[in-house]
Amino acid sequence: MPKFISNNKVYYTPVEYVLSKVGGTYKMPLLWRLKDQGKRFSELKNSFERISDRMLSKSLKELVDDQFLAKKVFAEIPVRVEYHITEKGKRAIPIISSLRDYGFQLINEDGIQIEP
């Protein structure tokens, strides 16, 4: 089996590595929302029914640190901040797209009702 070391952490499968970067509850949904245009912190916040400031901030920060997103700060008052997808981030979009499709398929197979 392969074995990768990054930031003093050991990964044993490529899937494990991917999920460490874009896994979790919000990261892929965030990239998906930003695939076509940049958005502000508040826009992103409002696009989820629930999400704490803390998790939105933390998820965005990690995506920026890992260069999936870029952050642009406008020195206005009050300050305006925009997040944009990067070239690296764009390469994740086809994967997220097929995961989404598969998600809807699973939800269907499992007979789950989607609420309006």
Partner DNA sequence: CCGTATCCAACATGATACTG
Partner DNA sequence: CAGTATCATGTTGGATACGG
Which distant-in-sequence residues (6+ apart) come within 8 Å of 49 by Cβ?
Answer: none
Give the binding range for a copy of itself (CB under 8 A) out of 35-43, 52-60, 73-81, 99-107.
99-107
Which distant-in-sequence residues (6+ apart) come within 8 Å of 34 by Cβ?
Answer: 44, 69, 83, 84, 85, 89
Q: Which two tokens stand for residue 74?
A: 């406008």
Is residue 91 within the footprint of DNA (CB under 7 A)? no
Is residue 6 within the footprint of DNA (CB under 7 A)? no
CA 56, CA 27: separation in Å to the nearest integer?
9
From the list DNA, a copy of itself, none, partner contacted by residue 4 (C-beta under 5 to 8 A by kind): a copy of itself
- Contacts to a copy of itself from residues 60-89, by CB under 8 A: 88
List of residues contacting DNA (CB under 7 A): 20, 24-26, 40-42, 50-55, 57-61, 71, 78-81
